[in-house]
């Protein structure tokens, strides 16, 4: 099955870079004012979802689900759940990180939800790639100048980092002490990250302000 790309309304400054992550068979779900990114991404909607409080209701041929404005799920969360109902296993979130911090943190939780369901998921902003490290080893090639590991879900134990400037061996990272910020793959190496218990948010930095 193709990958599902969820497009939210956070700012995307570098459309050319974002387009490099897209695949010809991606299924695009635009969430409300995420429609502002349609021209820049050059990606036709397979589905449009929203309560249209931040964008006029579209007059497009694509399937559209209009949501009530008072609801538990954000438009983005609803879009992800709808894609799950349709059987998608692989997700890319664009326009989901940045802007209002509450929306950003809520969308980071989407990555946790998808990881908990055993799905593949990554979010992208103008500076990096976000994913969850849990059951499988994560790799950071040295083409990424920096990477950070952040605790966003309880306690992470037996954290090991190899091939990086700041290695770890069986460490513990709590949400109160985030010392996994701004590590670097060693030149000519690919950093390897494993988490024995718990989950961490990995950000691979691709650019600077």
CATH, residue 141: 2.60.120.320
Mean pLDDT of the chain: 93
- Residues 141 and 187 grouped into a single domain: yes
Q: Is residue 185's pLDDT more than 60? A: yes
Q: For residue 206, what are the CA distances in angstroms to 94, 147, 163?
A: 15, 9, 18
- Residues 17 and 107 grouped into a single domain: yes
Domain that holds residue 24: 4-126
pTM of model > 0.85 = yes
- Residues 140 and 103 grouped into a single domain: no
- Residues 55 and 141 grouped into a single domain: no
Among residues 103, 126, 149, the one where a domain terminates is 126
- Residues 9 and 35 grouped into a single domain: yes
- Residues 96 and 173 grouped into a single domain: no
Could you give the 3-state DSSP secondary structure of residue 50?
strand
Give me the numbers of helices (H) and strands (E) for the chain, helices first please.
4, 13
pLDDT (tens digit, 9 = 90+) per residue, 106-136? 999 999 999 999 999 999 999 999 999 998 9
Among residues 108, 126, 144, the one where a domain terminates is 126
DSSP assignment of 165-191 equals: SS-EEEEEE-SS----SSB-BPTT-EE
Contact 2, 27 (CB under 8 A): yes
- Residues 151 and 193 grouped into a single domain: yes
Q: How confident is the model at residue 50 (pLDDT cuts 50, 70, 90)?
A: confident
Q: Is residue 38's pLDDT more than 90? A: yes
pLDDT (tens digit, 9 = 90+) per residue, 1-35? 799 999 999 999 999 999 999 999 999 999 988 99
Q: State the total domains in the chain.
A: 2
CATH of the domain at 77: 3.40.50.10240
Q: For residue 56, what are the CA distances in angstroms to 12, 25, 42, 47, 128?
A: 20, 27, 20, 16, 30
- Residues 107 and 169 grouped into a single domain: no
- Residues 75 and 167 grouped into a single domain: no
- Residues 86 and 163 grouped into a single domain: no
Closest CA to 10 of 109, 113, 125: 125
Tally of CB atoms within 10 A around 109: 13
């Amino acid at each position: 099955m193709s990958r599902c790309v969820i497009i939210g309304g956070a700012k995307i400054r570098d459309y050319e870079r974002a387009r490099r992550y897209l695949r010809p068979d991606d299924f695009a779900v635009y969430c409300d004012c995420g429609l502002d990114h349609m021209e820049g991404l050059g990606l036709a909607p397979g589905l449009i979802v929203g309560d249209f409080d931040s964008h006029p209701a579209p007059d497009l041929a694509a399937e559209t689900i209009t949501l009530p404005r008072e609801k538990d799920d954000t438009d983005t969360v609803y879009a992800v759940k709808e894609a799950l109902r349709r059987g998608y296993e692989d997700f890319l979130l664009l326009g989901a990180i940045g802007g209002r911090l509450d929306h950003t943190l809520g969308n980071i939780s989407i990555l946790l939800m998808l990881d908990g369901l055993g799905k593949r998921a990554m979010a992208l902003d103008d500076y990096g790639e976000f994913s969850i490290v849990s059951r499988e080893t994560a790799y950071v090639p040295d083409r990424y100048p920096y990477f950070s590991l952040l605790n966003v879900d309880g306690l992470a134990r037996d954290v090991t980092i190899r091939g990086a400037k700041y290695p770890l061996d069986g460490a513990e990272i709590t949400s109160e002490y985030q010392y996994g910020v701004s590590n670097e793959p060693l030149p000519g190496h690919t950093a390897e990250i494993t988490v024995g218990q718990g989950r961490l948010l990995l950000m691979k930095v691709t650019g600077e302000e």
